[in-house]
Every structure is written in C-alpha cells, then in structure tokens.
Chain A
Amino acid sequence: MAALIEIEHLSKRFGAFTAVDDVSFSVARGEVLGFLGPNGAGKSTTMKMLAGFVTPSDGQARICGHDVQAAGIAARRCLGFLPEGAPTYPEMSVDAFLRFAAAIRGYRGAEASERVARAIDLTTLAGVRLQPIETLSKGFKRRVGLAQALLHDPPVLVLDEPTDGLDPNQKFEVRSLIAGMAKEKAIIISTHILEEVEAVCSRAIIIAAGRVVADATPGELARRHPSGKLDDVFRAITNPSPSRAA
C-alpha cells in the first residue's frame, strides 16, 4: 500500500528567496516523523503546503493518495492539522469551537457530541469545556488546537510544534497520546525539542535552508556524532562551520 503522506520535489519560492527547495519524502502508516530544523528552515512552509494552505511553486503533495492542490477537500478530510501557533477563535468556548469543527466535518447530532466528547477527553480539556478560549493559558489553547485536529480520528496528522508552551506534565501527556495513536496513523510533528524526537518519533528528518539534510531513525542520527547526542548531530548538520561563525 502506498504511503499515506507523499511529498515529491516540493519547492516554495517567495520572490528570490527559496523557502523550501526540492523536498521529497513519504510517511507510511505506523510512522511518526519528527520534522527538525532551525527557525526559518522551511518546516512550517512545508507543512502548510502539505495542508493545502500554501500553494507550492513546484512539486506535489498527496495525502491518502489525494493531491492536496487538485483534490484539496478530499485530502483535507483525511488530515488533522495543527497549524503553527495553534490558532483558534478566541471568543468561542472550547465546546462551541469543537462543535464548529465537527459540523464542518459533517458530523451531526449525537455523533457530533460523541466526537467532541472524545476529543475533549483525549486532550483532557473537560475542566474548561465551557470557557471562552481567550481566557485559557497557552498550554490549554494548544490542546484545543490539538483536539480540533484529532476530532475526526484522521489517518494523517500534521502537527506543527504540538508541545510548544506546555508544561512538562502536559508534554508527557501529549507525547503519550501521539505514541498511542502511532500504529494506525501517519504522523508528522515539527519540534525544536530533540528529546521529543527520541521519545516519540520512529524517524527524523532534518531540514536546513529549505533542503532535507538528514533522514534516518533517531538512533542512527545520534550515532553520526562521536558524542552520540542528537543535539550535537543537529548542530553539526545545520550549522556546519561554527568556528567560522564565531
């Protein structure tokens, strides 16, 4: 069976600046891909193109076999997406927001309530269910975004920094949640936290200046540096000449 996420020669240029440069990879069911790179490396742009929000300058992306540009709606039905910064409508309550997402995804009546209840349960939002989102802390807001992405139990999850702003307990919960879903889904998470990659990812891609510079399991990556630490590998790959920079 084909991979659930397929990205082929994807590029994005903004004027003379190339944000994403000929990126290709695929993610199969059961894989959790950690998407790493320094700020501005093109992680979010790649994820936005995969979600159909940014139109690629070149190349294609497919989710569950649907081209994200030509068959965008079919592709987005299979996708749970947490955009960068986890944007949500501040004046809505958690419940109203998730009900809106459920209605957009075509759930009605009891089924919608069931979906919302399950998403709230998975992301432990029950205590703030009726609170306006604008009154919530950063960590709660992020979990609301996550609940929205999980609502329809999609086969593909694309999460842009899902644990940013969470406290250590919440980080642990979200990681367990992701690990628990890993078997049935293809998941991409972008993160700056390298220990997260070791904790939940079965594979890691490092992107720098818009190009894929490494694609391996976290263990293999770590062995590329004498210290055996992912941090050192990351620095060596994305910042190849620190002596010159200093």
Chain B
Amino acid sequence: MRATLTIARRELAGYFATPVAWVFIVIFLVLQGALTFGLGNFFDRDQADLLPFFQFIPWVFLLLVPAITMRLWAEERRLGTIELLLTLPVSQGQAVLGKFIAAWAFCAIALALTFPFVITVNLLGHPDNGAIATGYLGSLLVAGAFLAVGEAASALTKNQVIAFVLGVAICFVFAVSSYPLVTDFLGRNAPVLVALARRICITDRFLSFMRGLIEARDLIYFASFIGFWLFATSVIIEHRKAD
C-alpha cells in the first residue's frame, strides 16, 4: 500500500508541476459555471437545488477526464520511464492503482473547488444539502469510472492524442448506452444486448445520486466498473509494457 501511495503522490505532484492541472481546473470551473447559469437556467428555475449543476457534470467530465488520464501511461512509454517504474520493487497492480488514485484525487480537488455553487444556493434559499452531498458523491464516482477507462486507453499507446480520443470515445459509449439512439440500433441488430446496454449506462446510474439517493446496486456498479477497467489496464500493461 505504501508503494501505491508513493506512486500516487508523485503523480499528483506531477499534475501540478505542469500547467495541465491549472488549465484543467480553470476550464472545468468556467464550463460548469457557464452551463449551470446559462443552459441550466439556474436562476429562472427558482428552485434551491443544484440539479442544473449536476446534470452537466457527466458531459463535462466526458470531455475533460480523458485529458487527465491521457498522460498516465502514454507519457511513461514515450519517456521510457515505464521501464524504470516497473523495474522498481512494485507490482503492476500497485502502479496502476497508484496512478488511478492520483487522478481521482485530482478530480476530487477540482470538484471541491466548485464550493461557491453550494454557498450560492444556500444563500439564495434552503436547498436539500443531503441531495447536494449525494450529487457530489455521484460526480466523484462518474469521474472515477471515466478515469479508469481513460487509464486503460492511455496504457494502449505512447501517443497522448490517441489516448485522449480513445478515452472520450469509450466513455461516450458508456454515457449514452441507454439512450434511444443506442437501444433502437441494438434493438434492430442485436436485441439481446438492449437490456445490458440500459443497465451499464453511467449517466443513468448518476441520476439517482442527483436525486439524493445512494443505492447499493449503483455503488456496486461503479465499484465493479472501475475495478474492471483497472484490471484491464493491468493486463494491457503486462502484455504491452515493452512494446
């Protein structure tokens, strides 16, 4: 566990050593602000809640989270440091998990910096702060799910652009898999997959968190989703580390 945390600490410091962290945080906050107050009609709705804020979270993360993960392994490959890292006395699993924890902690920091939204809504009315808390928990889980996908995409290539595009594409599939666009298509071509597509949709799972509900099956879903993609990352690294 110590080695995992050491790797996580180094990665997290790495985000802040380059402009990536600051660019990400500023763009994230500007986008969330613009979408919540503009498209989300935060004021006109006349409701003391953060639904307009949370409804855009998965879509903003869809675009930005793969930008955090794209360097995780692609950069190690490009610099050759993957050879250094994996010949230190750490297991592949520890390295994969350490990098994931760093990226997740970074997303948590970005989310925490949205606190002015919470203050604003509390000043204007009496919101259900429990629902806001579950909304944040759900947002963190959505970030974790996208991060795990993004880390796997990054492990596949030494090119960060490919890692980013691949990450966005895979995350997008899981974000819209219950949408009519997808289910109609599957209904015509592979009806057996329709039920599955509905159940694995990340944005659907996020809805109950937005409404203030924490359901065990959703927690299990996110845990297994993240676990699956981290395991996939580990397998990819094992097979392609020296390529």
Contact = CB atoms under 8 A, between A and B. Distances in A.
A105 B87 contact: no
Interface string B1-29: 01100110110011001100000000000
A103 B90 CA distance: 11
Nearest to B95: A104
Given A53-B241, A92-B17, A76 B83 contact: no
A148 B81 CA distance: 12
B81 A91 contact: no
Interface of A: 48, 51-55, 72-74, 76-77, 79, 81, 83-85, 87-92, 96, 100-101, 103-106, 145, 148
B160 to A, nearest CB: 15
A83 B88 contact: no
Interface in B73-94: 79-81, 83-84, 86-91
A4 B90 CA distance: 21
Interface of B: 2-3, 6-7, 9-10, 13-14, 17-18, 79-81, 83-84, 86-91, 241-242
Contacts of B242: 48, 53-55
Nearest to A96: B13
A81 B87 contact: yes
Contact of A100 (B6, B79, B80, B83): B6
Q: Give the dominant DSSP class at B's interface.
A: helix
B89 A89 contact: no
A104 B90 contact: yes
B81 A89 contact: yes
Contacts of A48: 83, 242
A76 B88 contact: yes
13 contacts: A48-B83, A52-B87, A53-B241, A73-B91, A76-B88, A77-B89, A83-B83, A84-B80, A88-B84, A103-B2, A103-B6, A104-B88, A106-B2
B88 A101 contact: yes
Contacts of B86: 52-53
Given A48-B242, A81-B87, A105-B88, A87 B6 contact: no
A148 to B, nearest CB: 7
